[in-house]
Amino acid sequence: MLFSATVWSHRFSEVRVEAADCSVKVSVTYDAPASAYKSRLASMIHYRFKARARFASGVKAAGPVFSSSKPGAQSHTFSFDTSGEGCWAREKQALVAMDVEGCRGEGCTVEPFK
């Protein structure tokens, strides 16, 4: 599924979701621009993000924080175990939205999803 989100000049553009038993695997594709990785301070050429898939039924699959420290096309994949939530991954789910939050700087704190 194509989507559009820009966080700290990083353009997130595609998501793939696969379900297997009680787990959901989410892969997000993004482009990290070269201009975002030019700084005199090494700690400022480090970005941290997290992504969350939202489905029509109201369930959500949020991944852990991941890092980006180089420019170029990249992807991030995470698995979300739904067994503690009634194993909803076994039912067909319609993806309706992706949320992405991020921060700049080594050790920065990614804000919670709203």
d(CA 77, CA 63): 8
pTM for the model stands at 0.91
pLDDT digits 0-9 by tens, 66-92:
999 999 999 999 999 999 999 999 999
Residue 36 · residue 68 · CB < 8 Å? no
d(CA 101, CA 66): 11
Least confident of 2-6, 47-51, 70-74, 83-87: 2-6
List the chain domain ranges. Answer: 2-104
d(CA 57, CA 46): 35
One of 3.30.70, 2.30.30, 2.40.50, 2.60.40 is the CATH number of 2-104, namely 2.60.40
Measured at the alpha carbon of residue 104, what is the angle toward residues 45 and 55, in degrees to the nearest 5? 125
